[in-house]
Amino acid sequence: MASNELTRSRPISPTQHAVLDYGVASMFFALGFKYRNQNRAASTLAFVNGGMVLGMSMLTDYPGGVWRRISFKTHGVLDVVQAALTGFGPALMGFADTPEAKTFYAQAASEVGVVSMTDWNAAPAH
């Protein structure tokens, strides 16, 4: 497969990925506050995920990165770990059969989509 074909099949650039990351972190923090009085485990999982995504974003060498200590490719590997935590977290924390769990399952599926559509070989534009 030619490299420009690979880029076309993976249309999310580092800049677009950064925007999505900061949006996802914000969404998780909002969920943490939303669930805080109705499901403490869901609230905790949301805050943990929000912190992970925000921390990774701030440490990644891409637009929006603050300290740029990890490469964009390493960020991609960590995104898979974070998606797994999001998807398996409700079962691990004992709320897999609650309505709140559906939000985490949907977000994990979304994260898998973003990971698969991101061009991890693109050079970050600073």
Per residue in 22-80, pLDDT tens?
A: 999 999 999 999 999 999 999 999 999 999 999 999 999 999 999 999 999 999 999 99
Instruction: Using a pLDDT cut of 90, give the percent of the chain over it.
Output: 88
CB atoms closer than 10 angstroms to residue 122: 17
Instruction: Using a pLDDT cut of 70, give the percent of the chain over it.
Output: 93
d(CA 90, CA 86): 8
Model pTM?
Answer: 0.91
Q: Which of 95, 102, 90, 19 is nearest to 49 (CA)?
A: 90
Give the model's pLDDT for residue 9. 78
Q: Give the lowest-confidence range in 4-18, 20-34, 81-95.
A: 4-18
Q: What is the largest CA-CA distance in the chain?
A: 52
Amino acid identity at 60 = T
- Strand intervals (E) in 1-126: none
**Does the structure show a pLDDT above 90 at 93?**
yes
